[in-house]
Amino acid sequence: MLIDYVPIFLLLLVAAALGVVMTNINRIMGPKKPNREKLSTYESGMEPIKTARERFTVRFYMVAILFILFDVEVVFLYPWAVNFLSLGWFGFIEMLIFIVVLLVGYYYVIRKGALRWQ
């Protein structure tokens, strides 16, 4: 019974070993010639003028989270569009309810002013 799991354990062992090797191979084989230019901070090809520890407002995070939320929800529209004909009226009504829920959430976000950038 336990012999049936040997291939799975072997696969997990090989995957773990490969992960460790791939993570550390750069330290072993990579060039080690640091200089002032390589160790400097790089921001879009420009010299940084402020510290990297500057705080962002909560609005920045709110917009980012809302973008991810609505973006992920819109991803569900693609499989529905591909299977539109095979789903029939049931699929149409379900997606209509889904879109209405999205629009209610979007209306709530607009009313709360989360997308207003000041």
Residues 46-95 pLDDT 10s: 777 777 677 777 777 878 888 888 888 888 888 888 888 898 999 999 98
How many Å apart are CA 33 and CA 107, to the nearest integer?
55
How many Å apart are CA 110 and CA 93, to the nearest integer?
26
Q: How many helices (H) and strands (E) does the chain have?
A: 5, 0
Q: Which residue has the higher pLDDT, 51 or 19?
A: 19
Q: Which domains does the chain have, with CATH numbers?
A: 2-112 (1.20.58)
Tell me the pTM. 0.48
The pLDDT assigned to 102 comes to: 85
How many Å apart are CA 7 and CA 3, to the nearest integer?
8
Mean of the per-residue pLDDT values of the chain: 84
Report residue 43: phi and psi, to 5°. Answer: -135, 95
For residue 42, pLDDT over 90 is answered with no
How many Å apart are CA 59 and CA 39, to the nearest integer?
33
Query: 117 vs 62, 69, 91, CA distance in Å?
Result: 11, 18, 37
In the 8-state DSSP scheme, what is residue 114?
T
The pLDDT assigned to 15 comes to: 97
Report the percentage of the chain scoring pLDDT > 90. Answer: 25
